[in-house]
């Protein structure tokens, strides 16, 4: 049966759009084959609405709004699916681990204090988080919380199914006007949304995107930190439930293979233990990697590329954070809401094609 909307990609972006469309009583089919590097299953889960910005960006307001929406979404998903997305109000402490990172940290602090979001504080790092080594002052961003990305993906998947959405585990090989092709045949669609993460370019070759592979690991500790620690060099320590601590992430532009390297894990552990010495006693319980969808101007690509094909991808390292607002605005824009269309205009694919 042909549904109102067909979505390619069942990561947090495709699922969030489906969830919002289903709540508006549209019918939705998702085509998704989960791969070993699906980004939504690999993410740190940080909702870095302020941490991710050091200068004005058309994404800033959306990020702050999305961060706030995650608390509402967590409650909604728990009530509907019984799945806890493990939203932890840990806040985030951003630190410089080497003197050369201090100017950018200071500049970010100055930028954030001019923005109308949760106040940020310039504080001694090991007073905010007693497990830290003495790294001097850092930026305490009290509003940047975090979720468990796999739980969010699982909850959204179940919510979509409970609301009547169909998920078809077939790989889409090709899209044409009005039909798409999988290994099992052709399907007709009315409106198609390409939300295939780092693989979107395989379906829409004119999208100027590239993959950025990242590795992470999960540790089990005796005593967990209470705050997320984010070093200016990109290494982070995120306290999860049950004394688990997620360490991330490496960054390899233009790589998309599924292997976790010894060098990547060594680099993460060296940097994490230097920031928090007690981690050297932790047990390694899992390592993994994923592929972030990046664009050449580092902004997502959201909008129609033809009367029946809409793209929504390129959320790079903030797709978990931005998933809530993306689902809401895209579902509104698709049904003609002018305000949503205007808010998404800076991300139009027509800036490239």
Binding residues for ligand FAD, per CB under 6 A? 8-14, 31-35, 38-40, 42-46, 171-172, 195-199, 203, 214, 216, 248-249, 290-293, 313, 315-321
Classify residue 142 by burial, with Cβ atoms within 10 Å: 0-12, 13-18, 19+: middle
Q: How far is the CB of 76 from ligand FAD (least distance, A)?
A: 19
d(CA 66, CA 220): 30
Quick check: helix, strand or coil at residue 56? Answer: coil
Are 193 and 30 in contact by the 8 Å Cβ rule? The answer is no
Closer of 139 and 289 to ligand FAD (Cβ) = 289
d(CA 312, CA 78): 26
Evaluated on CA atoms 258, 42, 81, 310, the torsion sign reads negative
Classify residue 61 by burial, with Cβ atoms within 10 Å: 0-12, 13-18, 19+: middle
Nearest to 195 by CA among 333, 330, 46, 345: 330
Q: How far is the CB of 315 from ligand FAD (least distance, A)?
A: 4
Q: How far is the CB of 314 from ligand FAD (least distance, A)?
A: 8
Q: How far is the CB of 189 from ligand FAD (least distance, A)?
A: 13
Closer of 290 and 303 to ligand FAD (Cβ) = 290
d(CA 144, CA 51): 7
Closer of 87 and 203 to ligand FAD (Cβ) = 203
Q: How far is the CB of 310 from ligand FAD (least distance, A)?
A: 14
**Pairing label, strands 236-239, 179-182:** unpaired
Closer of 23 and 171 to ligand FAD (Cβ) = 171
Closer of 108 and 137 to ligand FAD (Cβ) = 108
Closer of 51 and 137 to ligand FAD (Cβ) = 51
Which residues have CB under 8 Å from 274's CB, separation 6+? Answer: 97, 133
Closer of 60 and 199 to ligand FAD (Cβ) = 199
Q: How far is the CB of 124 from ligand FAD (least distance, A)?
A: 25
Quick check: helix, strand or coil at residue 174? Answer: strand
Q: How far is the CB of 52 from ligand FAD (least distance, A)?
A: 8
């Amino acid at each position: 049966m042909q549904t109102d909307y067909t979505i390619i990609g069942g990561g947090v972006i495709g699922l969030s759009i489906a969830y919002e469309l289903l709540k508006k009583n549209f019918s939705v089919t998702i085509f998704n084959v989960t791969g070993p590097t699906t980004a939504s299953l690999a993410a740190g889960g940080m909702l870095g609405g302020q941490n991710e910005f050091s200068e004005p960006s058309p994404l800033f307001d959306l990020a702050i709004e999305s961060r706030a929406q995650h608390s509402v979404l967590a409650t909604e998903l728990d009530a509907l699916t019984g799945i806890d997305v493990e939203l932890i109000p840990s806040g985030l402490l951003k630190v410089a681990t080497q003197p050369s990172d201090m100017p950018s940290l200071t500049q970010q602090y100055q930028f954030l204090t001019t923005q109308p979001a949760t106040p940020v504080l310039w504080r001694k790092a090991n007073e905010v988080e007693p497990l830290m080594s003495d790294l001097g002052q850092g930026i305490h961003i009290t509003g940047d919380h975090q979720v468990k990305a796999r739980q969010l993906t699982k909850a959204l998947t179940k919510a979509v199914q409970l609301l009547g959405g169909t998920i078809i585990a077939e790989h889409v090989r090709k899209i044409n006007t009005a039909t798409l092709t999988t290994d099992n045949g052709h399907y007709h669609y009315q409106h198609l949304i390409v939300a295939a993460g780092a693989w979107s370019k395989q379906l829409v070759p004119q999208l100027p995107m590239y993959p950025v592979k990242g590795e992470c690991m999960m540790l089990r500790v005796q005593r967990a930190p209470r705050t997320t620690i984010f070093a200016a060099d990109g290494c982070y320590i995120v306290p999860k439930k049950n004394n688990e601590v997620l360490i991330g992430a490496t960054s390899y532009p233009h790589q998309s293979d599924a292997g976790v390297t010894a060098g990547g894990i060594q680099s993460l552990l060296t940097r994490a233990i230097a920031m928090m010495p007690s981690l050297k006693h932790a047990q390694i319980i899992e390592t993994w990697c994923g592929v972030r969808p990046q664009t050449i101007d580092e902004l997502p690509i959201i909008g129609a590329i033809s009367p029946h094909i809409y793209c929504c991808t390129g959320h790079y390292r903030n797709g978990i954070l931005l998933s809530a607002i993306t689902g809401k605005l895209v579902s509104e824009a698709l049904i003609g809401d002018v305000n949503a269309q205007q808010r998404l205009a800076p991300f139009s694919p027509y800036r490239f094609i």
